Structure 1
């Protein structure tokens, strides 16, 4: 018997083998394509149920499950994707998810992930919040009983997550919100909204630990990144922020028994045309609180209003009493900060007379005034610390 194989036969066998391997791999990953559940990528048909069904299928499967949003534009209403799941989930966005073009007043989320351990969101796709119809209704600074607007993506009690190569456009409220999360990484994420869009914070977090944000561009109408109470071990590098209000710790002290904000690092980042660059803000009056072990290092500032600012008289309502903040700020370092300020006061450290700032360190600061016709200056109140290296503007810290 002649066992020699001809080239066409060998090629056919190879193709069959590759097809079988691909099928086995797909089965091993449990791919749940939302189009298989009835989604239509025409940008007009509500695909909420299809995505919910695909999620439920993936969440109840063992191993790694892929919830696939293929090419196309899929209209999506408010949705909660709840765990715990039987395995890890990869939320693969190849196309676009588009929110309803309406304010959706009184709804605090668009897409919420909750109680999940092991989540990846990636794919190079787009989250289109269609926020322009909502921004005029963001009147919480004027109305005490204002109605909530949807956050593009909420993460509640999510751990071991990796969000990368995703774009969030024109959120109605915050783009991403983390609550009680841990071991969470953002990487190569693009966040975009006009500078006049209210409360469109790029990434906000509270009661969350071990959060890493890397190599991401954030242009928005509010804080690029904001850290609320209980933010601990936060590491941010390679951030391009602007326009926006900069990176803010706070505001803090608005509620009793707030957990400390501690072990925060920002490095190798750039602020362009922002209202603030590096900011810590606490309310006055306030409840007791703690901010400690904060480092801002190797930062370039281009035409920011307030490159370095600690504001312990923050009062968004403009109807505050003269009482002082009770939030204690200590061990804050600004290292190798350089660039230009659009205001004369480039370094503004305004701490509480009730609990003065201690351990403030300024090392190698070089901030020039840009276009104001004057020389940059610094202003300090109730702030003790030390300076090292170049100090432009001259330091005003108490020793």
Structure 2
């Protein structure tokens, strides 16, 4: 562990590190949220270039910015965390992952003002399960293609519960960016991809929950590069407001939808439109 200018607590280049217990890290965020002019707040806890990291049991409250960042790490297991910040707190992601491989995040409660979990470029073989997410934005991949080529592969998000999230689960990309995201399996509901990043083999299966938005299934892809081989199966999303109607929409999205509520008939099944047969 060392002091570092861009984080409160930093563990760097440590192999076989275990951080566990029932203690609490309080970032005392309100002073930062209310006074944005005093500077850019730092992540509360950062792990960088660690191999074999194990993080469990802790409670993280009111980080000035991101609660936990995992950067350029390999073989990571994060479990049984409780991460809390007000729904209105700015940029208080629960866990941010970038440039990391073989990361397993499971059985945690994350209720913040931004993404519960955000997966950045250069990350692969990410497993997320048993997460109680919300309120907040949800679970996100990206943003991809910002200032270069980004790649995210082999992400599996399953058995997660979204409660009053803004976007559920989504892929975020920059217009004009390059790269690709494939072999992504989601248990979320928001898919927003509006650039030239190539998105394929995306699965939403076994999803149920509520959303703060009316457009609860949004497959919004680039007008020039279609999203291909999307599967939406056994998805049931309703409004967080009792009795309010919800709907789904698509832009240049190709795949198939079965057992979906609200009814989704906008996926393009044509192999010509999808640039190849569906698997």
Shift of 1:280: 1.0
Q: 1:221 to 1:382 in 2, by over 3 A?
A: same
1:275 aligns with 2:144: no
Query: What is the match of residue 261 of structure 2?
Result: 392
1:262 corresponds to 2:159: no
For the residue of structure 2 that corresponds to 1:245, the secondary structure is strand
Maintained 8 Å contact 1:138/1:198? no
The structural deviation recorded for 1:375 is: 3.4
Unpaired runs of at least 5, structure 2: 270-279
With over 3 angstroms needed to count, the CA separation of the structure-2 counterparts of 1:128 and 1:340, relative to structure 1, is closer
Matched ranges for 1:308-327 at <5 A: 308-313=189-194, 325-327=195-197
Q: How far 1:256 sits from its partner (Å)? A: 1.1
1:295 maps to what in 2?
Answer: 185
Any conservation in 1 of the 2:167–2:213 contact (CA below 8 Å)?
no
Question: Structure 2 CA distance, aligned partners of 1:223 and 1:113?
Answer: 23
User: Which residue of the partner structure matches residue 357 of structure 1?
Assistant: 227
Aligned partner of 1:367 among 214, 224, 237: 237
Q: Is the 8 A contact 1:329 1:357 kept in 2?
A: yes
1:341–1:275: structure 2 CA closer, same or farther, 3 Å change rule?
closer
- Partner secondary structure for residue 204 of structure 2: strand
Residue 181 (str. 1) matches residue 42 (str. 2): no
Matches within 5 A, 1:10-49: none
Q: Distance in 2 between matches of 1:332 and 1:239?
A: 20
SS in 2 for 1:375: coil
Instruction: Indicate the residue corresponding to 2:21 in structure 1.
Output: 123
- Alignment partner of 1:229 is 2:127: no
RMSD of the alignment, in Å?
1.8
Q: Which has the higher helix share?
A: 1
Superposition misfits of 4+ residues, deviation over 6 angstroms: none
SS of the counterpart of 2:30? helix
CA distance in 2, matches of 1:343, 1:173: 25
Partner-residue secondary structure (3-state), 1:394: coil
Please state how far the C-alpha of 1:240 moved relative to its aligned partner: 0.6
Paired positions, count: 268
The structure, 1 or 2, with the larger RCO (C-alpha pairs under 8 Å, 6+ apart) is 2
Deviation at 1:339, TM superposition (A): 3.0
Match of 2:63 among 160, 166, 171: 171
Deviation at 1:372, TM superposition (A): 7.0
Aligned partner of residue 173 in structure 1, secondary structure: coil
Contact persistence 2:29–2:64 (CA under 8 A): yes
- Higher mean C-alpha displacement, 374-383 vs 335-344: 335-344
| Residues 15-72 of structure 1: per-residue CA shift (max 9 Å, x gap) | xxxxxxxxxxxxxxxxxxxxxxxxxxxxxxxxxxxxxxxx6xxxxxxxxxxxxxxxxx
Name the structure 2 match of 1:216. 108
The structure 1 residue matched to 2:246, chosen from 358, 376, 392, is: 376
Instruction: Give TM-score scaled by structure 1 length.
Output: 0.64
Residue 391 (structure 1) shift? 2.0
Q: Distance in 1 between matches of 2:154 and 2:251?
A: 24
Cα deviation code 1:273-332 (max 9, x no counterpart): 111211111112x321111111124xxxxxxxxx6222224xxxxxxxxxxx12111000
SS in 2 for 1:133: helix
User: For residue 276 of structure 2, what is the aligned residue in structure 1?
Assistant: none
Take 1:393 and 1:340, find their aligned partners in 2: how far apart are those partners?
12
- Partners of 1:359 and 1:138 lie apart in 2 by 43
